[in-house]
Structure 1
Amino acid sequence: MRPLIAAFLSFAAMALSAGPKPQVKLTTSMGVIVMELEPQAAPRTVENFLKYVKKGHYNGTIFHRVISDFMIQGGGYVDYLGKKRTDASIPNEADRALAAGLKNKRGTVAMARTPDPHSATAEFFINVVDNPKLDFKSKANATTWGYCVFGRVIKGMDVVDRIRAVKTSNKRSDFLNLPVKPVLIKEAVQIQ
């Protein structure tokens, strides 16, 4: 019985030291989305995201890529499609996040990146369906590295669903799946 008590006390101490998970509120032109972040599963990714939130980076950006059966992506461009400056990219923690049970499922938030697995800066996406093909598989190549999940939507999936349903255009070859009417992130603030 003593090992069981010791294990429980150890788990309880870890839970207390972890404290509440950070939450970020996105006020968009279509409503409010609240995300809860997972710093124990993806510490550098969460730290990076919160750094951009605190700097006000996301204020005035748009969801510039909306694919109704895939995801909505934002955080990198302003409404006239000027790219915002970012800090250096961060290492991909998709392997660590997956080991902690975070997968690219509907409602989860992950970092966007280029084909380079370690190129994520500020852009993020919200999965609107389960996307297992985006999960970490191995470190063998860029495709199998996957995309790091670092949080989930805890309020406002109805807003996410409204955004995923907006009309998009492929008129600009440099911006495929661009909403015809901009979907603005008015403000991003940490609320917990």
Structure 2
Amino acid sequence: MSLRLTLLFLLLPLAAPASPASPAVPPALPEPAAEAAPAPPAPRVLLVTTLGEIMLELDAAAAPRTVENFLAYARDGHYNGTIFHRVVPGLLVQAGGFTPDLQAKPTRAPVPNEAGNGLSNQRGSIAAARDRGVSDSATTQFFINLADNPAFDRRDESSPYTSGYAVFGRVVQGMDVIERIAAVPTGSQGPFNGWVPATPVVIERVQLLEPTSP
């Protein structure tokens, strides 16, 4: 072989050795869809009043801080012996803060306003009462709507006057008792101008029931 041919042979690229055929790769199976976490059980509470029993179902998913606040007062016995101190037929009945002689019971720090959580102030719903001009001021008092009251829902988060009242549950039994409370004659007593039942409607005790599955 001439020197020229020898150099040309040495400069040619070497062929890659033949490789065995790669086995076919099966297509990837789709990942199983993640199951949504189950909703927490709904706490239930029984209000035993002098006019009958009212069962409430609370929505801890929509209003966790407000529900826990209410349950904490209930566990402490705060509501036992308090009255419905504001009764406005066709609108609401309100309770949770005063004794029959209209003495205010002590409260803890207020909770943030959870209005705008998707729950509306509809008939039979329970909402946290608060100071009219202070959004985050709810403590012990609550009201039950006697009618659909959309004006109580959050409308504009920039203004404390339209920040709404947080719904945190509903009446599941005892709306007839609520209507009996609403029918009690009212008037002015102590520092309250009107709407105080002439005959006190007392919450004798609050009983925490087994929660229900959603």
TM-score by length of 2: 0.80
Task: Name the residue aligned to 1:158.
Answer: 176
SS in 1 for 2:72: helix
Unaligned runs of 5+ in 2: 1-29
C-alpha displacement at 1:172, in angstroms?
A: 4.5
Task: Name the residue aligned to 1:32.
Answer: 53
- 1:88-107 residue pairs with structure 2 within 5 A? 88-95=109-116, 97-98=117-118, 102-107=119-124
SS in 2 for 1:10: coil
CA contact (8 A) 1:65 1:175 kept: no
Instruction: State how far apart, in whole Å, the 1-side matches of 2:161 and 2:184 are.
Output: 29
Task: Name the residue aligned to 1:108.
Answer: 125
Identity value in percent = 46
Q: Which amino acid aligns with 2:124?
A: G
* Residue 137 (str. 1) matches residue 155 (str. 2): yes
TM-score by length of 1: 0.89
Instruction: State how far apart, in whole Å, the 2-side matches of 1:164 and 1:174 are.
Output: 17
- 1:1-192 residue pairs with structure 2 within 5 A? 6=33, 10-11=35-36, 14-15=37-38, 18-95=39-116, 97-98=117-118, 102-115=119-132, 116-170=134-188, 172=190, 174-192=192-210
Instruction: State how far apart, in whole Å, the 2-side matches of 1:104 and 1:164 are.
Output: 17
Instruction: State how far apart, in whole Å, the 1-side matches of 2:150 and 2:121 are.
Output: 6
Higher relative contact order, chain-length normalized (CA < 8 Å, sep 6+) = 1
SS in 1 for 2:194: coil
Instruction: State how far apart, in whole Å, the 2-side matches of 1:91 and 1:176 are.
Output: 29
Q: Which range moves more in the overlay, 31-40 or 138-147?
A: 138-147
Instruction: State how far apart, in whole Å, the 2-side matches of 1:189 and 1:145 are.
Output: 31
Larger radius of gyration: 2
SS in 2 for 1:160: helix
C-alpha displacement at 1:10, in angstroms?
A: 2.2
Unaligned runs of 5+ in 1: none
Instruction: State how far apart, in whole Å, the 2-side matches of 1:171 and 1:47 are.
Output: 32
C-alpha displacement at 1:117, in angstroms?
A: 0.9
Q: Which amino acid aligns with 2:80?
A: N
C-alpha displacement at 1:175, in angstroms?
A: 4.2
CA contact (8 A) 1:169 1:179 kept: yes
Higher share in helix:
1
Matched residue count: 180
Instruction: State how far apart, in whole Å, the 2-side matches of 1:91 and 1:57 are.
Output: 20
